[in-house]
Amino acid sequence: MSEVIRAENLYKTYHMGDVEVPALRGVDLTIDQAEFVAVMGSSGSGKSTFMNILGCLDRPTSGRYFLEGQEVGSLSRDDWAHIRNKRIGFVFQGFNLLSRTSALENVELPMMYNGFAGKQRRERALEVLSLVGLDERVDHMPNQLSGGQQQRVAIARALVNQPSLILADEPTGNLDSTTSAEIMALFRRLNSDQHITIVLVTHESDIAAYAERQVHFRDGSVVSDQKKT
C-alpha cells in the first residue's frame, strides 16, 4: 500500500500573549492508502490541531507533513487551497450545507471551483448522491432533509472531486445513535468498496470502533496506535 499521510516529528505551539501553549509534541504517524483510522483523545489532547494540519488548515511549528509523498506543511496558502479542493474531502459535525441550495447543487459546488462544465457536474453529483443512498432526494433543500440525510449530502460533497483523503471531524456529533450507526456504516462501506482513505476524529469509543485502526492522543502526543486483529 502506498502512503497517503506521513507526519514526521510534528510540533505545534500556540502563543497566548507571553505564554507558549504546546498543542503537538513530536507526532510521528503514517497512514496508508485505503486505511480507516479513528483519531481519539479528550479536549486539549491535540487531535483537532493534528486534523487541521492534515487538512492544510494550519501549519506545524516544526516537523514535516507529507500528503501522497509531497511535503505540504510548508506550502503557500494558495497551494493549500488547491490541495483542499482537489485532494481532501471534509465532513464536519455541522454539515455546512448551503440552506437555499438543493442537495444536488450543494454537491456540485466543489466542482464549480475546478471548472467542470454543467453537464459533467450534474452527472458526477448524481453519481455520488446515489452512492450515499440519496437518489430520491437530489432536489430537496437541507431543511427538507433529516440530519442523517444532510450528513449524507455532506459526505457526497466531500467525495465529488475524488479526493485521496476524507477527513471527518466528529461527523456524528449532531446525530442520534441510530442515525450515527447508519452514517458510520456508510463510511465503512465507502472505505471497503471504494478504497477511500478516511481519518475520523471522535471522542466516542463506539464511533471509533467502526475504524480498523485507533490512534489515541494525550497532551499533544500519540500514546497508542492499535489496529484491529
For residue range 190-228, list pLDDT tens digits in order. Answer: 999 999 999 999 989 999 999 999 999 999 999 999 998
106: nearest Cα among 77, 56, 149? 149
**pLDDT score recorded for residue 36:** 98
pTM, to two decimals: 0.93
What are the chain's domains? 3-227 (3.40.50.300)
CA 28 to each of CA 3, 14, 24, 38, 189: distance values in angstroms, whole numbers, following the listed order: 14, 19, 10, 16, 28
